[in-house]
Amino acid sequence: MELTIKEVALHLKIPIETLHRWVRQGKIPMQRNRGVYTIRQEMFERWADEHKLNIHSQSEEAQQDGEAVFDGVLPAMQRGGIFFDLQGDSKEDALQAAVERIPNLERIDRKIVLEKLLEREQMASTGIGHGVALPHPRANPGVGLMLPQITTCFFPKPVPYDAIDHHPVSVMMVLLSGSTKLHLSLLSKISFYLRNVSFREFLLTAPPAREILDKVAGME
């Protein structure tokens, strides 16, 4: 059985754009036939086992996803909060500083979230370029969030982040969600916004929180 790139992305619980990048970088052995990328299921399962990725237990989340409703980037940013003047000399320090500020988490949940974020970074950097990073767990971190949230953090001193363009990161937007469907919807939408050069450059000025939310409200 051949799996399409969309099916593989769903199994891995990552955005299809990320999977396309992995294919270009040779990180996953997908073949192109008549313009369509596919991979044999047994090869995909072997590759996942080699990388210690669990692609088999999805039934519970699939049921949850059937009831999920995406309410937009703006509400997610309001729930996650906006924080300024964070410090970090490394990616790990920066992620820890961000996790300490994420609202709606218990202390024990912060440890879990940090572990999941670092685990995700080991697979591939979430630094999307132009000074921006979108850290997120590969899957539901299991911390009981009912609705997705984005915690936006600004670092006056840019942080080395292994970003795709090798530039350090000044803006970090941490995405958390309790369901795959909500997560992918949120990641797709905020990624679309960040492809807007004027919005990205606006963020890099570290404007006041109210101005950021007003800007996002206008885009939505």
Q: Report pLDDT for 56.
A: 58
- Highest-pLDDT range among 20-24, 65-69, 123-127, 142-146: 123-127
Task: Give pTM, 2 decimals.
Answer: 0.69
Q: What band does 82 get if pLDDT is binned at 50, 70 and 90?
A: very high
More confident residue, 171 or 57: 171
pLDDT score for 59: 39
133 band by pLDDT with thresholds 50, 70 and 90: very high
Burial 130-142 (b: 16+ CB within 10 A, else e): bbbbbbbbbbbbe
The reported pLDDT for the residue numbered 90 is: 96
Residue keyed to tokens 């086992």: 49
**Greater confidence, 139 or 124?**
124
pLDDT of residue 58: 44
Torsion of CA 208, 90, 15, 66, to 10 degrees: -70
Q: Minimum mean pLDDT among 14-18, 46-50, 162-166: which range?
A: 14-18
In this predicted structure, the answer to whether residue 157 has a pLDDT above a threshold of 50 is yes
3-state SS string over 58-119?
CHHHHHHHCCCCCCCHHHHHHHHCEECCCCCCCHHHHHHHHHCCCCCCCHHHHHHHHHHHHH
| C-alpha–C-alpha distance, residues 124 and 138, integer Å | 10
For residues 47 and 208, which has the higher predicted lDDT (pLDDT)?
Answer: 208
Q: Hey, what domains does the chain have and what are their CATH numbers? A: 2-60 (1.10.1660.10), 67-219 (3.40.930.10)
Can you tell me the distance from the alpha carbon of 179 to that of 162, in angstroms, rounded to the nearest whole number?
A: 27
What's the whole-number mean pLDDT along residues 191-202? 95
Q: How confident is the model at residue 144 (pLDDT cuts 50, 70, 90)?
A: low
Closest-CA residue to 186 (of 62, 77, 94, 59): 77
Average pLDDT, the chain: 86
| pLDDT classification of 15: cutoffs 50, 70, 90 | low
Q: From the CB of residue 194, how many other CB atoms can be counted at a distance below 10 Å?
A: 18
Distance CA 86, CA 219 (A): 26
Residue 115 has pLDDT above 90, yes or no: yes
Residue 103 has pLDDT above 70, yes or no: yes
